[in-house]
Copies of this chain bind each other. A is one copy, B any other.
Amino acid sequence: MQRGSFQWMKSLNKSIILNKIRSEGSISRAQIAKETQLTPPTVGTIVKELLEQGLIKESQLGISQGGRKPTLLVLNTSGFHIIGIDAGPSDVQFVISDLSGGKIVDELEKPVEFGIDEENFLQMLVSGVENLIHRNTSLKFIGIGVAMHGVVDSEQGISVFAPNLNLRNMNIKSVLETSFEMVVKVENDAKALALGEAWFQNQTANTSMIAVNVGRGIGAGLVINGKLYSGEHGIAGEVGHMTIDIHGKTCTCGNDGCLQTVASGPAIAEKAMEMIDKGYQTQLTNYNGELTAEMIYLAAVEGDRLAKDLLEEAGTYLGIALTNLIHVCNPSTIIIGGGVSKAGDFILKPIVNTIRKRAISEKAQATPVYVSSLGDYGSALGAVALILSDIFEPMGDRDCPI
């Protein structure tokens, strides 16, 4: 365990103050002292250091409470920037975010050629980051966060296995760190999404929430007490393979009745094709080639009965799985992200209704479920949050990247 030392005590207080400024938006030294139990002189000296580091700045004067006007402190959001990478199966999104995460300064998207090998994939990541940096030479960068699909060893920063690309054991952290000499964090995309949601939305740090990424697969990230929870071997959150119907369809993993066999994008599309083959009337009938979940959503918008029913069914299954999650983890909030979440209310309503019906306590039934508000930037901003959460964490014995 981390021992208590002067250094550590100071870094802890520094982080408390920095987080206070971040979560409040703007706040005076005096107010920080009141709310954090720290004394005014302590706050003063630490604030001075943060100003010198350029992490915060003084903004205008606040309104007087009957005496001298307080000098409000705010995050110096444009003082440093972070690169976030969302490495999906078909394309890679690069973004530059400011310190608040609220402003995306620049972005870049690169397609991933099918059949790409490990070396070229890594090279593509490097050149993408190079591009962005060269386009924004005036900015100071403090780190690169990577949200990678598939199995990730986040401690080592290695992409262990990316199933859709069939790539294995890519040491992303090492490659980017040697190329750019800044902090690099790599995490599974669903986990990054979860952290991003916890970080950017739910400002209160001590929350426990779950973000579920519903796309080709179904993965979840657990944020417990404000921190990403990975489990013993880093595989916590594999909800796609949660059994909810032991007599159900066989999954790619070999088991029967995994959530993924009934609620993932491909599963919805497959079910649609089955129904069409059975002769159901629907405007989806004349699909050519592969039918996708997105096409089904579009049909639902246009009022297609089958499409709406299919989404409702998938939502109900998701609701059952989420109720299981609530019973096990009892999170304060659940966020739905990923491709299927674009179906909006078509999928959200049955989810919520199912939870209302099945959860065993009133409070559990009322667990709020939202669609991710970060939209297409969800995982990329989650990657940014990997770096941010590190900066805003007590440094302890680590050396500060700034």
Chain A residues packing against B (C-beta within 8 Å): 1, 3-6, 8-10, 12-13, 16, 19, 36-38, 151, 205-206, 208, 220, 222, 224, 229-239, 241-247, 253-255, 257, 320, 323-325, 327-332, 358, 360-361, 363-364, 367
- B233 and A229: CB pair below 8 A? no
* Most chain B beta-carbon contacts within 10 A, residue among A3, A37, A151, A363: A3
Within 8 Å CB of A358, what residues of B? Answer: 243, 254-255
The answer to whether residues A12 and B4 also contact, given A329-B231, A329-B236 and a CB cut-off of 8 A, is: yes
In the complex, residue of chain B having the shortest beta-carbon distance to the beta carbon of A233: B363
- B3 and A13: CB pair below 8 A? yes
Within 8 Å CB of A16, what residues of B? Answer: 1, 3-4
Q: Report Cα–Cα, A4/B229, bound state, in Å.
A: 25
In the complex, residue of chain B having the shortest beta-carbon distance to the beta carbon of A240: B327
The answer to whether residues A320 and B243 also contact, given A232-B331, A234-B330 and a CB cut-off of 8 A, is: yes
A364 to chain B, nearest CB (A): 6
Within 8 Å CB of A330, what residues of B? Answer: 230-238
- A241 and B320: CB pair below 8 A? no
- Report, nearest first, the 10 A-B pairs whose CB atoms are least far apart: A231-B330, A4-B9, A236-B330, A4-B12, A238-B327, A232-B332, A233-B363, A242-B324, A4-B13, A245-B246
Q: Report Cα–Cα, A229/B206, bound state, in Å.
A: 13
- B3 and A37: CB pair below 8 A? yes
The answer to whether residues A233 and B38 also contact, given A238-B328, A328-B325 and a CB cut-off of 8 A, is: no
